[in-house]
Chain A
């Protein structure tokens, strides 16, 4: 009765876990779902709020103002000679916010979607990916604000320099930010399914991470004033590298070393892969432990 000779199975479901069980073909099959999730996020973002997209403007603006008051007026951090400290802070915060949104958004993937995940299968990685893509929209809005202020300071007569030659690197920086946010977020989401402690850590951890990622100060200041160990940490922190590079391109504060760019890119990809591996190991049975 058994047709032993002709046993070509399409796939096998089992409890065994491979190290990197990443099925690109399957994700490709579900690509429409990815875009529909993004579309859902975009459509439902501003439904029934009065200020709507304004919230995404208010938050970075206020943060930049506070940073300027505390770090520049009070703390005397130098942000280059020509650039207004407010613009300096706004530039850093804009890119940092993208990372933060990706991280916090993806880190709750399993806990937030457990009713969907408990009822139907699709490659789970679609969910954090869609979060990362739809956060690009928020990033876009905040980028527009940045451009607005950039033009304002330019018209005011500030001597701002845009590093045209490096402009092509800009999307790569955003991409690296996305990889880091996604990778770290997936790692955390996989770990929070069983141990919720990390959600507590995350909320203040992100805040602390910002201070060692060169958001309110340029790298040169860190190298000058921090103790050697911390300054090394900040220097090799990929987030700090990305923010520094981004600022260099947009407002010509700081520097870009090709060696460091490649180092950061490699680190981002490794972070993403690590997150992916842990995420994939968890997705098979998280529903039993969440």
Chain B
């Protein structure tokens, strides 16, 4: 099949200055200007560290992106995946012309419209209808295009009743619906989308993902899609790019890329022993949280494993020991309590480690904390408050690419729905 390349990214890099723009800015500018006058290269483009936010850097400049090369075919839906701060958003910003690359270039055969945020330029004093026109025009539609779609947009947003009321009277959810409705009716050759689906209630999310699917599959539009919602990425995209520390680490089919991403993202956090109490007869040495495979980060809908390594001076048998795990969400809200006391295990003379596993993890995506509480002969031996934190990625719990909005629930439940005619 001969597929036409619609977008070509060639050696794109982006450099940022670290710290405060202040003293030294003028001298750097003058220095740049002076070397330009002499026909030399920008001296500051030679320096710069790779983009790894956890490492200390010695240079004032950092490469947010370095040597990005890829091509996109017409009608392809490309997922861009990476950790926070890997450079995904910078890439999208360059693609949507919000900022320009430090070096390299991007060639395109179509108009690019970007959706880095919904509702850009909404004015609270104007009515919904007026804002549809303004927002549409900001996103690159002409007035006649909007005219022909206005009814569809209002219908899609579900805000017909309020469309002639100033937007400042809207609830935040309604604002988002209206904004997404406008964005969903854009018809550019290439659409660049940054995680805007994580808004609105469940019903609306379903509608939004459905619309995205229509756009990409039905209408054959080219889409570049960035999200942390692996379920959405998996169901929408055909091909993926994994970005790490500002460089492309691999390009391939979306399943392969997601696998690689989760692999790379495995929890290597050290346990936090700041809040430790108890007799210390036996102590928790390390906690390893993993997903399907040993060094894969957890994903809901798949196997989840917590391994606790224990250490003690004397032999302690499994009959003497009780270990409770308390899992809290990032708000400090308890979501689960696991304990070996709840299950019958065969006796082990000398306990070295305990493994808890959940065959099909039913916690929603997000950050969680585990506190461990260890008792020997009914006396507290070691208590670790928030011993470790880990992230759960959104997998495909329901097997259909849809997910529960993060703000709606921590717990995912298996259920059946029956819709009856009478």
Interface residues of A (CB under 8 A from B): 2-3, 7-15, 29-30, 32-33, 36-37, 39-40, 43-44, 47-48, 115-122, 194-195, 284-285, 287-289
- Whether a CB of chain A sits under 8 angstroms from the CB of B107 is yes
A12 — which chain B residues lie within 8 A by C-beta?
105-108
Q: Assess whether A13 is in contact with B116, with CB atoms less than 8 Å apart.
A: no
Q: Is the CB of A120 within 8 A of B108?
A: no
Please give, as numbers and ranges, the residues of chain A lying within 8 Å of B4 by CB-CB distance.
3
Q: Considering the chains assembled together, what is the distance between the CA atoms of A202 and B171 in angstroms?
A: 39
Known: A13-B100, A14-B100, A284-B99. A120 touches B116 (CB 8 A): yes
Q: Is the CB of A287 within 8 A of B137?
A: no
Alpha-carbon distance between A13 and B109 when the two chains are bound, in angstroms: 12
With a cutoff of 8 Å between Cβ atoms, the chain B residues found around residue A8 in the complex are: 109
Is B216 an interface residue, CB under 8 A from the partner? no
Q: Which residues of B contact A47 (CB under 8 A)?
A: 125
Which 7 residue pairs spanning A and B have beta carbons closest together?
A14-B105, A121-B97, A33-B137, A284-B100, A32-B143, A13-B106, A9-B107
User: What's the minimum C-beta distance from B332 to chain A, rounded to whole angstroms?
Assistant: 32
**Given A32-B143, A44-B123, A194-B21, A117 and B98 touching (CB < 8 A)?**
yes
B53 CB to closest chain A CB (Å) equals 17
Partner of B99, one of A9, A14, A288: A288
Q: How far is the CA of A13 from the CA of B91 in the complex (A)?
A: 12
Query: What's the least CB distance linking A35 to chain B, in Å?
Result: 8
Bound CA–CA A124/B108 (angstroms): 20
Q: A10 to nearest B CB, angstroms? A: 5
B residues near A (Cβ < 8 Å) are 4-5, 8, 16-17, 21, 25-26, 29, 93-111, 114, 116-117, 120-121, 123, 125-126, 130, 133-134, 137-143
Give min CB distance, A169 to chain B, whole Å: 34
Nearest residue (CB) in B for A37 is B134
* CA A112 to CA B133, docked complex, whole Å: 21
Once the chains are docked, how many angstroms separate the CA of A33 from the CA of B17?
33
Q: A267 to B94: give the CA distance in the assembly, Å.
A: 36
Q: Which residues of A contact B108 (CB under 8 A)?
A: 9-13
Q: Which residues of B contact A289 (CB under 8 A)?
A: 21
Indicate if the CB atoms of A122 and B99 lie closer than 8 Å.
no
Whole-angstrom CA separation of A3 from B140 in the bound complex? 29
* CB atoms of A32 and B96 under 8 A apart: no
Kindly list chain A residues whose C-beta atoms are within 8 Å of the C-beta of B95: 13
Residues of B within 8 A of A284 (CB): 99-100
What chain A residues lie within 8 Å of B105 (beta carbons)? 12-15
Q: Is the CB of A116 within 8 A of B106?
A: no
Give chain B residues whose Cβ lies under 8 Å from the Cβ of A121. 96-98, 114
- The closest CB in chain A to the CB of B124 belongs to A44
Whether B121 lies near A116 (C-beta < 8 A) is yes
Q: Measured between C-beta atoms, what is the minimum distance from A163 to chain B in Å? A: 40
Which residues of chain A come closer than 8 Å to B25, judged between CB atoms? 194-195
What are 22 sample pairs from A and B whose C-beta atoms fall under 8 A apart? A3-B4, A3-B5, A7-B107, A8-B109, A12-B108, A13-B95, A13-B97, A13-B100, A13-B106, A13-B107, A13-B108, A14-B105, A29-B142, A32-B142, A36-B134, A44-B126, A116-B120, A120-B114, A120-B139, A121-B97, A284-B99, A288-B16
Cβ of A94 to closest chain B Cβ, rounded Å: 27
Instruction: State whether A120 touches B138 (Cβ < 8 A).
Output: yes
A122 engages B106 (CB within 8 Å)? no
Contact B123 A120 (CB under 8 A): no
Q: Which residues of A contact B121 (CB under 8 A)?
A: 116, 120
Does B101 lie within 8 Å of A33, measured CB to CB? no
